[in-house]
């Protein structure tokens, strides 16, 4: 049996976006499920827009998503001699020809065709002239002028195009660079790609590429065109719907396992199951379960998944994941035991790593800013008297349980409910009315910071 080979072929003209990441994921899953190879090919022939920065950004995004590729990345610009070799063969065999038509003449003839009710396709003027190379000339593929070209798509089913709708596409530009359709076919043929899984915005390219495969005498791969990802307004996902770059989601504090899980479910299903590890997806993935309808990006669903994976991450690992967001603010990293304690107090309180870092920031501030409404409500003269009494008993380090026992005793002595003791103290220690568990906070901050924050609260005047 022929080994399955899939590929992901991004152009380094921008960052890896959500749609591209899902395409990469589906190709990766298919190859890994069937014991095949997954190839990463950087299609960098757009010299004006391709940059090394974007190339590295794509590689970083793939690595962050844990989508490992087999072998070294393949760079299309390093294969230009091979592309030209295939073009020369097609010229020699009569399957391609030189075209000397000038762009302005082509446009004039296209407009005339439209005015006459025809198609704005190339009219074949140079098709049988047996021309040779010349300044400004291009090479065109001599496509069939009748019949149909079709394939059975692994997602869409049978797809057929009338060859009369397909003009003689350019395969070598006037600057000597091969065009996308030619380069991609030569690369897929010579790299033994067996399955091409890509967005359905490529459907119109596929009949042209199939004709090139046939002209080269190459076996056809199997094609699978994945529906697009739409925004909530059912238009193609774009920046107006929010972030579209994979690494933007990393910066916003999403975990790669959450993004992978979400992208897989944005078009693929396995019964009613919603949560999948990458290993589970690899075992269960099947193109036959990829839907034909466009997926609608739902940020709330991604938040829900991310929250799940945050809670599933061991505190030791989770602390290291959200710490960089605090480090950017200039805070000194605590010892490992303290960071784990802090993580325990915030892990249920945020949907992203950024939110966890924000919830934990008060631990590291010299004095957390007091919320004016909270301070006015809870740092009243009566409550400040209560804080003064607490100051006298919070002088020794205790465990969270020890602090709880101490404050409960104080509440009994003062004949008040625990909340009357806890809420002013919470505002004094965190600046807010909502926070992680108060007793854990007392333990983590320790006597010195606790007393310093109480002193600052005692100085508050509404």
Residue of 228, 177, 238, 175 whose CA lies nearest to 203: 228
Name, in order, each residue with C-beta under 8 angstroms of 25's C-beta and a sequence gap of 6 or more.
65, 67, 260, 263, 264
Between CA 177 and CA 77 the distance in angstroms is 10
Residue of 299, 396, 400 whose CA lies nearest to 352: 299
Residue of 162, 157, 266 whose CA lies nearest to 222: 157
Tokens of 223: 């094609």
Q: What angle do CA 261, 263, 265 make, to 5 degrees?
A: 70
CB 231 within 8 A of CB 237: yes
59, 83, 158, 224, 440 from 189: Cα distances, Å? 24, 11, 22, 17, 62
Alpha helices (H) along 194-245: 206-215
Q: Could you say which DSSP state residue 178 is in?
A: B
Output the CA torsion sign for 431, 433, 437, 443.
positive
Q: Is 311 a catalytic residue?
A: no
Residue of 331, 394, 322, 320 whose CA lies nearest to 363: 331
Dihedral Cα 316, 318, 322, 323, nearest 10 deg: 0
Active-site residue, selected from the candidate residues 239, 311, 373, 414:
239
CB 158 within 8 A of CB 152: yes
For β-strands 222-226 and 195-199, DSSP reports them as: parallel
Find tokens 């592309």 and name the residue.
83
Residue of 227, 265, 246, 202 whose CA lies nearest to 18: 246
How many CB atoms are closer than 10 A to CB 118?
11
Report the catalytic residues. Answer: 239
């Amino acid at each position: 049996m022929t080994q399955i080979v899939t590929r992901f072929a991004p152009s380094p003209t921008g960052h890896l976006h959500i749609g591209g990441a899902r395409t990469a994921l589906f190709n990766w899953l298919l190859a890994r499920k069937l014991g095949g190879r997954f190839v990463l090919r950087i299609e960098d022939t757009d010299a004006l827009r391709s940059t090394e920065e974007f190339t590295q950004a794509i590689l970083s995004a793939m690595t962050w998503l844990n989508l490992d590729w087999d072998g070294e990345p393949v760079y299309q610009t390093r294969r230009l001699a091979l592309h030209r070799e295939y073009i020369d063969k097609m010229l020699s065999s009569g399957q391609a020809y030189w075209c000397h038509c000038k762009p302005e003449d082509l446009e004039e003839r296209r407009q005339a065709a439209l005015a006459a009710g025809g198609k704005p396709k190339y009219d074949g003027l140079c098709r049988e002239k047996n021309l040779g190379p010349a300044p400004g000339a291009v090479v065109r593929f001599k496509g069939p002028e009748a019949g149909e070209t079709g394939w059975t798509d692994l997602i869409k089913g049978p797809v057929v195009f009338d060859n009369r709708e397909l003009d003689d596409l350019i395969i070598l530009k006037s600057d000597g660079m091969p065009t996308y359709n030619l380069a991609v076919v030569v690369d897929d043929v010579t790299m033994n790609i067996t399955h091409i899984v890509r967005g359905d915005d490529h459907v119109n390219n596929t009949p042209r590429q199939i004709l090139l495969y046939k002209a080269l005498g190459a076996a056809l791969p199997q094609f699978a065109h994945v529906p697009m990802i739409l925004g909530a307004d059912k238009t193609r996902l774009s920046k107006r719907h929010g972030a579209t770059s994979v690494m933007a989601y990393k910066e916003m504090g999403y975990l790669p396992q959450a993004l992978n899980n979400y992208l897989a479910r944005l078009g693929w299903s396995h019964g009613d199951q919603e949560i999948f590890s990458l290993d589970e997806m690899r075992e269960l993935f099947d193109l036959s379960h990829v839907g034909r309808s466009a997926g609608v990006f739902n940020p709330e669903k991604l938040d829900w998944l991310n929250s799940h994976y945050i809670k599933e991450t061991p505190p030791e690992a989770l602390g290291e994941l959200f710490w960089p967001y605090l480090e950017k603010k200039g805070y000194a990293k605590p010892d490992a035991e303290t960071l784990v304690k802090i993580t325990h107090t915030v892990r249920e309180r945020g949907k992203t790593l950024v939110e966890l870092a924000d919830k934990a920031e008060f631990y590291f501030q010299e004095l957390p800013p007091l919320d004016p409404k909270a301070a006015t409500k809870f740092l009243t003269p009566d409550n400040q008297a209560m804080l003064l009494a607490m100051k006298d008993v919070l002088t020794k380090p205790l465990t969270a349980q020890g602090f709880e026992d101490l404050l409960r005793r104080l509440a009994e002595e003062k004949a008040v409910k625990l909340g009357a003791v806890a809420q002013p103290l919470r505002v004094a220690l965190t600046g807010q009315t909502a926070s992680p568990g108060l007793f854990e906070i007392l333990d983590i901050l320790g006597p010195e910071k606790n007393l310093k924050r109480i002193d600052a609260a005692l100085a508050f005047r509404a």
